[in-house]
């Protein structure tokens, strides 16, 4: 058995190490899809499947959420990946099912709560 002083030192070192590990993580960001009246649910399901490999049932839930609440969080990741995902959404193209659709849906990147 370790002497009590040695045990206390090990616990203190472990706590410091855990604090360092906790602080060393990069902050996380949400990629949020924003609603509009120019894209169909089918478009949302298709886009999420192609860009993020989201299964149709889950993609449809996102489509319903963005339609009813005005937004849906698609993924949470580090900032460079979140910005890339947002840019992929912006570059996906128009919904050809709606003649008045001029382009892609909008998405934003916002900090995720800690």
Task: Give pTM, 2 decimals.
Answer: 0.78
Element (H, E) at 76: strand 71-78
Per-residue model confidence as pLDDT tens for the chain (114 residues)? 556 666 566 667 777 776 665 566 899 999 999 999 899 999 999 999 999 999 999 999 999 999 999 999 999 999 999 999 999 999 999 999 999 999 999 999 999 998
- Residue 51 counted as domain residue: yes
Structural domain tally of the chain? 1
- Residue 20 counted as domain residue: no
Find the domain containing 40 and state its range.
Answer: 26-111
What CATH number does residue 72 fall under? Answer: 3.30.1390.10
Using only C-alpha atoms, what is the Rg of the chain? 21
Exposed (0-12), middle (13-18) or buried (19+): which is 75, by Cβ within 10 Å? middle
């Amino acid at each position: 058995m370790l002497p009590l002083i040695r045990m206390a030192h090990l616990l203190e070192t472990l706590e410091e190490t855990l604090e360092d590990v906790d602080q060393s993580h990069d902050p996380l960001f949400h990629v949020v899809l924003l609603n509009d009246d120019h894209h169909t649910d089918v478009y949302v399901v298709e886009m999420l499947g192609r860009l993020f490999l989201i299964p149709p049932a889950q993609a449809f839930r996102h489509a319903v959420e963005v339609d009813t609440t005005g937004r849906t969080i698609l993924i949470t990741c580090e900032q460079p990946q979140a910005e890339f995902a947002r840019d992929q959404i912006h570059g996906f193209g128009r919904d050809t099912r709606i003649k008045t659709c001029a382009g892609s849906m909008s998405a934003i990147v916002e900090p995720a709560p800690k």
